[in-house]
Structures are given as C-alpha cells and as structure tokens.
Amino acid sequence: MPDAKKPKIPITFLLHAGATLIMISLLNWMIANYVPFSIDKIQQSYLIFYYHFPAAISCSIFFLMVLIGSIQVLRTGSPAWDRRARVAGQVGLVACTATLATGSTWASAAWNTWWDWSDARLMTAAIMWLTYAGYVLLHDQIDDPVKRRRYAAVYGILAFVNIPLTKYAVEWFGKTSHPEKFFDSDSASVIAQTRWFGVIAFFSLYLLLYRWRLAREATKERLETVLARVRRIEEGGSV
Amino acid sequence: MNGLRTTFALVRWECRREFQRGETVVSMVLFALVTLFVLSFAIDPSTETAVKAQPGILWTVLLLSSTIGVERCFGRPGEERVLEGLLLAPVSRTTIYYSRLISTWIFVAIMQVAVIVAFLVLYNVRTDAEAVGIILLAAWAGAVGFVSLGVTLAAMTRSIQGGEVLLRLLLMPLLIPFFKAVVALTTQALRGWEIGIREITMIVAFDLVYLAVGQLLFEHVVADFDG
C-alpha cells in the first residue's frame, strides 16, 4: 500500500493566489495614494466603496452562476454542474455578506444609521442574502444526492426569479438614499479606474475561494461514493 | 378522462376530505386568531401606532397562517403520503399540480375571509364595504401566486427532515415582493385613498411569474419519483 501523501496544491492555483495578493495590495495602494481622499458631501467615508462595489458585482456574478448551474442540472442531471452551482451559491453568499457589511459600515458614517429599512438597494441585497442562505441550507438538509441536486436546482431558479420582483417591489414601495452620481467630479476617471480594478482584484479573490471550495467538494463527493461502496461490501453485497 | 375533468375530480375529492375533517382550514383560522391576539398584546390596538400598523398586522397574520395550508397540501407532512399516491395514479403531473393548487387555494381563500372579518371586528376597523372588497380581492389574487409557489416548495420539503421549518425559510423571502405590494394596497384601501396601479401590477406579475415557473419546476421536483 502506498504511503498517504500530502495532496499537492496545483501550480495554477498558487499562481492565481499570488496574482490576487498582488492585485489587492495594489488596490490598497491606489486607495491610499491614487484616488481623491475625500469627495463632496460624504467626505472620506466613500473610500469603503472600493471594497463595497467589487463585492456587489462579484455577488451578482456568482448568483448568476447559480442560475446557470441550476438550469444545467435540470437539463442534464449533471453532478458537476450541481457542484458548481452549490459552490457559487456559497461564495456568492460570502460576497453578499461582504456587500452588506461594507454598505452598513458606510451607512453608519454617511446616513448615521447602520440599517435603513427604506433603502431599496439595501433591502434587495438583504432579501437576496436570505434567499441564497435558504439555497445553501437546502443543500445541507437533503441526504439523497439525486434529490438534493434536483431540489436545490429548483430553488436556485426560484431565487433568481425573485430578484427582479423584489427589486421593483422595494423601488416602487420604498425610497432610495443610495448615492447615484457621486463620481461626477474632476477625478471621475481616476475613481472609475480604481473601482473597476477593484472589481478585477476582488473577483479574483472570490474566484480563488470558489476554486478551493470546488476542489474540496469534489473530494468530499468522491469520498462519499467510496464510503457508500465500502458499506455495501460490508453488508455482503456486490461491488 | 381528459385533464380538466380529472383535475376537478381531484379538487372535489380533496374538498370532500377537508369538509369531513375540517383540519386544514380550522388549523389555519385558529392559528391566525392566536397570532392576532399575540400581536394585540405586542402593539396595543387602541393606540395610533396600531392603527398605522393595521395593514401590516393583517398581512403578517394571513401570510403565516397561509403557510400552514400550503404545508399540508400533500396531507400532513410525515404522516400521509398523498403525493406518492397521486403519482402512482394514471394522471399527468400537470393535473396533480393544478388540482393541488386549486384545492389549496380554496382553503386559503376561505381562511382569508374568516380572518379578515375577525380582524375587522377585533381591531375595531371602521371602513366601508368597498375597501373590504378590495382587500379581499387582493388577498384572493395574491393567494394564486402564493399557492403556486407553495405547492412546488411543499412537494420538495415534505420528504426532508425538518422540512416544516425549511418550507417557511424558503418561502418567505420569495413572498416579499407580493407582501410589499399588498400591504401598500391595503393601506390605500383602509385610508380611502386611490388604489395605485403599481400595487396591482406587482400582484398580477407575482401571480403570473410563479404560476408559470411553479408548474414548470414542479415537474422537475417529482421527476425522479420511482414508487
């Protein structure tokens, strides 16, 4: 029997991690030295926006991936797509939490309240958080893999369908205090560059998280299959 | 037998079952009454705040107790295996879905009438018949989307351990758009304001979206059924 070896980390993963580290460091440098330190009305509190915006964009991308994965699961029944959708849901939930946390921190400085129940976008994000938390939880509660795949895919689609409805509901029956055009200043292009660079840097970080979880989930599923076979053999059945 | 006739036969069967036992409707109404009482202790109904919160109170109660009806649309979870029985019968999945949808909608609609009347009396709401009619219509209309969503989710959660809690967890966030619209509409009706077109649009959109998506996804939920 061969010795149990420590699993090797793939070189592409390490490169990805290194690139992410460099990009986030560079982003922090840009925030410290490149962008204007404060802008009209909201002063320097706006700096957290460079972390808030990438998290919000990443969260939307991952939730879209949940939808695509879910549709693929229902079409093909593929376990690989189920894994992708599930991990995208988990990472999207982390990004959504980061969005809410940074947004809430900023709100306490700018709106003088941690949580504004009437702000449309905050409410949409919060309800999205709740739906996807349900999605992640649903995966954990079903043991039968075929059922789990199908049920989670069904909810993955429902959760996405809910987003536009929620968006219009809170916009129509609430008000928004989200700053819309606060980059309309001389340094608009500097701010735009930095925030889109931030999106790349942070999406890379969330993607790293996604790849790590995906590899772990794949190992876990393989292990479960092996264990199920061992159990069958022990019970005297065939392999 | 064609689909429509089968659907109504199943609805009649379910209604007769309910009429004999009265279980679902009675549970829903009693639960709603208990919640109304609890809320009356939380927010004193004679104060100005409670008057402002009336639409919210009514709809919280209606939503919570409607969930009981949805939860039981395939019999008592964990005890009765109505869905399995139906799937074994020679009827299409669409027929199963619509028969459950209609029968559950009927029970929820009956409950809504009882609860709205109880609410008007207990909370001493002075309003006219027109406003009550609008609220009831909104409740019945909204129940279509609610139940179509609920039947699909209930078909999923009924076989899961701890599915009752999960059903509520999964259902509630999806109901927020409808809830927002219907509370706004009820406020307008009770205050005698003009009814907003956006509220009606949202309720209709909610119904249409979940009727379509609900039936489509229900077929996937029961697709792997193997006896």
Q: Is the predicted pLDDT of residue B26 greater than 80, yes or no?
A: yes
Tokens of B7: 């659907």
CB atoms B177 and A165 under 8 Å: yes
CB atoms A162 and B205 under 8 Å: no
Distance, CA of A74 to CA of A70 (rounded, Å): 6
Nearest-Cα residue of chain B relative to residue A137: B166
Cβ B202 vs Cβ A169: under 8 Å: yes
Could you tell me the maximum CA-CA distance found in chain B, to the nearest angstrom? Answer: 58
**Helices assigned H by DSSP within chain B:** 3-21, 23-42, 48-71, 82-88, 93-122, 129-157, 163-191, 197-221
Nearest-Cα residue of chain B relative to residue A76: B220
pLDDT of the residue at B30: 92
**Helices assigned H by DSSP within A45-187:** 49-76, 79-110, 120-141, 145-172
Distance, CA of B71 to CA of B171 (rounded, Å): 11
Distance, CA of B83 to CA of B222 (rounded, Å): 9
The answer to whether residue A54 sits within a structural domain is yes
Locate tokens 């504004």: which residue?
A116
Q: Is the predicted pLDDT of residue B189 greater than 50, yes or no?
A: yes
Tally the domains of chain A.
Answer: 1
Distance, CA of A85 to CA of A94 (rounded, Å): 14
**Residues ≥6 apart with Cβ < 8 Å to B183:** A173, B55, B56, B59
Give me the residues paired with residue A39 across strands: A43
pLDDT of the residue at A87: 94
Q: Is the ipTM of this complex over 0.85?
A: no
Q: State which amino acid sits at residue B162.
A: G
pLDDT of the residue at B78: 64
Domain around A124: 48-178+186-231
Q: What's the distance, Cα to Cα, between the start and end of chain A in Å?
A: 20
Nearest-Cα residue of chain A relative to residue B197: A172
Tokens of B5: 């006739």
Burial of A95 (0-12, 13-18, 19+ CB in 10 A): buried
Tokens of B194: 């003009």
The answer to whether residue A133 sits within a structural domain is yes
CB atoms B176 and A127 under 8 Å: yes
Backbone angles phi, psi at B106, to 5 degrees: -60, -45
* Contact residues on chain B for A140, CB-CB shorter than 8 A: none
The answer to whether residue A236 sits within a structural domain is no
CB atoms A161 and B209 under 8 Å: yes
* Contact residues on chain B for A141, CB-CB shorter than 8 A: 160-162, 166
Cβ B75 vs Cβ B24: under 8 Å: no
Band (pLDDT 50/70/90 cuts) for residue B227 is very low
The answer to whether residue A5 sits within a structural domain is no
Q: State which amino acid sits at residue A117.
A: W
CB atoms A165 and B209 under 8 Å: yes
Nearest CA of chain B to the CA of A27: how many Å? 35
Tell me what the mean pLDDT of segment B64-83 comes to: 80
A119, A117, A108: which is closest to A177 by C-alpha? A119
CB atoms A158 and B223 under 8 Å: no
Question: Is A142 in the B-facing interface, judged by CB distances under 8 Å?
Answer: yes
Question: Is A173 in the B-facing interface, judged by CB distances under 8 Å?
Answer: yes
CB atoms B220 and A168 under 8 Å: no
Task: Tell me the CA distances in angstroms from A23 to A27, A29, A193, one per residue in order.
Answer: 6, 10, 13
Mutate to test the interface with B, among A76, A128, A139, A162 (most CBs of B within 10 A): A162
* Contact residues on chain B for A146, CB-CB shorter than 8 A: 224
Each residue's pLDDT expressed in tens, for chain A with a length of 239 residues? 456 667 778 888 899 899 999 999 998 888 888 777 766 666 677 788 888 889 999 999 999 999 999 999 988 888 889 999 999 999 999 999 999 999 888 888 877 788 877 777 888 889 899 999 999 998 888 878 888 888 899 999 999 988 888 888 877 776 655 665 555 555 677 777 888 888 899 999 999 999 999 999 898 888 988 988 898 888 876 65
Instruction: Number of A to B CB contacts under 8 A, please give it.
Output: 84
CB atoms A173 and B180 under 8 Å: yes
pLDDT of the residue at A40: 64
Nearest-Cα residue of chain B relative to residue A131: B173
**Residues ≥6 apart with Cβ < 8 Å to A66:** A85, A88, A89, A92, A132, A135, A156, A159, A160
CB atoms B209 and A166 under 8 Å: no
The answer to whether residue A22 sits within a structural domain is no
Nearest CA of chain B to the CA of A89: how many Å? 15
Distance, CA of A155 to CA of A131 (rounded, Å): 9
Locate tokens 């916009």: which residue?
A171
A54, A35, A48: which is closest to A107 by C-alpha? A48
The answer to whether residue A8 sits within a structural domain is no
- The chain-wide mean pLDDT, for chain B, equals 85
The answer to whether residue A24 sits within a structural domain is no
The answer to whether residue A238 sits within a structural domain is no
Q: Which of B20-24, B110-114, B177-181, B211-215 has the lowest mean pLDDT?
A: B20-24
SS3 label, residue B91: coil
